Every structure is written in C-alpha cells, then in structure tokens.
Amino acid sequence: MKKPFVTKQQVEDIVKDFPTPFYLYDEKGLVDNAKAVYDAFSWNKGFKEYFAVKATPNPVLMEILKSLGCGFDCSSETELMLSQAIGASGADIMFSSNDTPAREYAYADKLGAIINLDDFTHIDFLEETIGKIPETISCRYNPGGVFQMSNGIMDNPGDSKYGMTKDQLFEAYKILRSKGARNFGIHAFLASNTVTNEYYPQLAGQLFELAVELQKETGCKIAFINLSGGVGIPYRPDQEANDIKAIGEGVRRQFENILVPAGMGDVSIFTEMGRFMMGPYGALVTKAIHEKHIYKEYIGVDACAVNLMRPAMYGSYHHITVLGKENEPLDHVYDVTGSLCENNDKFAIDRQLPEIEMGDYLFIHDTGAHGYAMGYNYNGKLKCAELLLKEDGSVQMIRRAETARDYFATFDCLEIADKLNHILESERN
C-alpha cells in the first residue's frame, strides 16, 4: 500500500494556519530522488537533468532542484521567466516548444538557452526571428509508427504532432551546419508515463544508432542526446516502481555498445523528467465536508477538479488515504467528488475506502507533477495554496491560495472593476 509522507497529526497542525484544500510537497523525498537520478547517470560526464517546468512550475521547488544540479526544460515564455528569476541561464535551460511564437524564440535566445526545434520549417523562422542560427542547437525526432517494447505497444508517435521525420532531421542538420551551428543535439519523446525499466534504454538505443548515422552522413558534431521524459510513476499501489539505477545502467550499456565504438564516447546524456522527479513527492490534501446517499454513496470534499483535473480529464487513478485510518478495513465503496457543475468532477469512482466521517482528511497521492499546474477556474473556483514540508518538519507556504481579487484582476480594463473592488472591500469588512 502507498504510505503518505505526512501523518494525520501533522495535517491537523498544518490546517491551523493553512485551510484545506492545499498541495503539500515533501522536500526530503524530492531531494533524495534527485540525488538518485544523478547517481544513476554518474557514469556520463556531461549528464544533466532538465526538470520539466510544466510539471510543477513553482520557483521554490525549482530552486531546490537547481541546487542539486538540475537545469530546466521550458516550453513557454513564462516558464523561461521563472527559470531566469531563480538564476538559471544559458545551458541550464532547454527550450523545447512547438508552434512557437517569435517572441518566445527571441526570449530563449536572449537567455542563451539551448533551443530544441520541433519542426523543419522552424529553421528559417528562428533565423528570421533572432537574425542567426545558434552555435548549439537541437532538433526533435519523431520516428512515426508505434513505439513498442516487450510488454506491448507503449504509444503512437505517428499520431503525434511533435518532431521531424528522419529525412527532415538529416536535411535540417545539413542546413543548420551550413548556417553556422557547430554543436548538435538530438531529442525524442516517444511514450508517456512508462512504468518499466526498459523504456529509456530502448529509446537510447534507437537514438544512439541514429546519432552515429547522422554524424557520419552530415559531419555534424553530436554533442548531446536528450532522452526527454516518459519515465513514469506507479499511480496504483499494485504497480512496481521504476528502478532509476537499473534504468541508468541500461542506458550505459547501450552507450558502451553503440556510441563508444563509433568514437562518440564524449556525447552528453540529458533527461527532461517531470513526473518522475516530482510526482510522488506532492499530495493534494482535502477534507470531507458532505456525504450523500442516493443510488450510490458519495463523499464530497472541499477540493474539486480545479485543484486536480487528471481524474476528470483522463480518468486517471490517484490513490487516496484517509489519514488516521490507514489500518482500518476498506469496507465502504464511495465516489469521492468535488463541487463543480460537472459530473466528471470525481477523484475516485467506486473506490473501496474505510468509512469516512465528516472532517476526515483525505491524502490524494502522486499529485506532485501535472497537479496544481493543470488547474483552472471553472465555476469561478479558486486555486489552492502550495506548501512545502521541509526536511526539518516545518511547513513553508510556497504559493498562496488565489482570492476573488485575483480572479477579477483581468477585468481592470472595464468600468465594472470599480464595482467589483467595492464588493470585495465590503466582504473584507
């Protein structure tokens, strides 16, 4: 069974200062995990993990990862700004974007970020935008078809909007070299949330063979190979977690078998993990506030899909622990719901849980990545606070909860803004 990284007593102490719902992140867990990643790839002198900012865009968490050697994988202007704000620049930033506006390329270039081109047509677009082709540049590869491993089809790259075909990739590197690029990278993302130690090594094998062929045919110096993300986490308690040490060793074997004999043993390995780096080390903590007995048994909580949309959007499973009742029998079946005017606003459907009483705290596991980041404001609901459980046991607010003033802020272009501000002041008083 999954074990929460916080106890009922700790949550009861936290809510004295920070009401539910809130996100809580485990500093010790994310630090230990980041160190394990770097240890697993320590055989590669140039290894760098570029944390996928899109997964958990919080500067405090990013600063922790930066202190451990991580860079940042950015896909938008605001993610670039976050990275800049915590002191990242140059080769500490990988800009992997698609359908990219000119101003975002210009901003990435201003920071000296490594730009990863998603499409062949972006070569001319980038040159027109920034007036040059950078000396170090990367291109994203899409092999098409399906990506298959020993346990079956994992994903369908051929149906993906990302990356270049092989022919486009080879032509792109020839053109980029002719325009002044000198150091080249290869990037690919072929499957999402894989819970198997095979994915990275198999992907690495394909990209290493491609790199050898590419360098030989085009004369381009392949400086790095970016395995991107895709290493997942076990959302269900019966799933076996990935072993990052075994994954690193599998990539090393492919490196030694393919790149080293080709005289390419100096190639750096990059990763861009978000889910694996942060997923298990964040939780959504919410309180049971209503129960409903009709055709099914429902527990209503004070969080909703605005706070965590993955179950509503994808039907994703997130394990739930009722704090303080970890050892009680799972003898009740509930739908755990939020308050949105949407029937899919459910954190769990027909879930076996211990009996839930009003006021119980529910710990929704594995929300540290693509949790808060995917929030929205439907029904005028407001996003909750983010908190950090520090290694010394103290708690730090790292993002305050939204207020109605935040929600109305972009109406400041209208006359009604004054009326809204008056209402807000009246409510405050």
Assign 20 to helix, strand or coil: coil
Task: Pinpoint the alpha helices (H) of 257-347.
Answer: 275-278, 310-314
The pLDDT of residue 155: 63
Assign 280 to helix, strand or coil: helix
CA separation for the pair 383, 194 (Å, rounded): 29
* Mean pLDDT of the 329-349 span: 97
The pLDDT of residue 428: 75
384 is catalytic: no
* Mean pLDDT of the 166-181 span: 97
Q: Where in the chain is the domain with CATH 2.40.37.10?
A: 280-402
Please list, in sequence order, all residues whose beta carbon lies within 8 angstroms of the beta carbon of residue 260, skipping any fewer than 6 positions away.
Answer: none
pLDDT level of residue 190 (50, 70, 90 thresholds): confident
CA separation for the pair 109, 265 (Å, rounded): 29
Active-site residue identified among 70, 74, 139, 341:
341
Angle among Cα 293, 295, 296 to the nearest 5 degrees reads: 65
Terminal Cα distance for the chain, rounded: 47
The pLDDT of residue 226: 98
pLDDT digits (tens, 9 = 90+) for 251-279: 999 999 999 999 999 999 999 999 999 99
pLDDT digits (tens, 9 = 90+) for 203-260: 999 999 999 999 999 999 999 999 999 999 999 999 999 999 999 999 999 999 999 9
pLDDT level of residue 154 (50, 70, 90 thresholds): low
- Smallest Cα–Cα separation from 71: which of 52, 97, 43? 52
CATH number for region 280-402: 2.40.37.10
Percent of the chain with pLDDT over 70: 98
The pLDDT of residue 300: 98
Percent of the chain with pLDDT over 90: 92
pLDDT at 151 over 90: no
Helices (H) and strands (E) in the chain, counts: 13, 19
Q: Which token pair is 169?
A: 């990739």
The pLDDT of residue 175: 98
pLDDT digits (tens, 9 = 90+) for 393-418: 999 999 999 999 999 999 999 999 99
* Mean pLDDT of the 143-151 span: 71
pLDDT at 1 over 90: no
pTM attached to this predicted model: 0.95
pLDDT digits (tens, 9 = 90+) for 299-334: 999 999 999 999 999 999 999 999 999 999 999 999
The pLDDT of residue 159: 77
The pLDDT of residue 350: 98
Q: Which token pair is 217?
A: 């045919």
CA separation for the pair 207, 186 (Å, rounded): 8
pLDDT digits (tens, 9 = 90+) for 363-387: 999 999 999 999 999 999 999 999 9
Q: What is the DSSP letter of 194?
A: B
Map tokens 């202007």 to a residue: 77
Tell me what the pLDDT averaged over the chain comes to. 95
pLDDT digits (tens, 9 = 90+) for 113-122: 999 999 999 9
Q: Which helix (H) or strand (E) holds 337?
A: strand 332-337
Q: Where in the chain is the domain with CATH 3.20.20.10?
A: 27-279
The pLDDT of residue 355: 98
Assign 24 to helix, strand or coil: strand
Q: What is the DSSP letter of 200?
A: H
Q: Which residue has the higher pLDDT, 154 or 340?
A: 340
Is 3.40.50.300 the CATH classification of the domain at 27-279? Answer: no
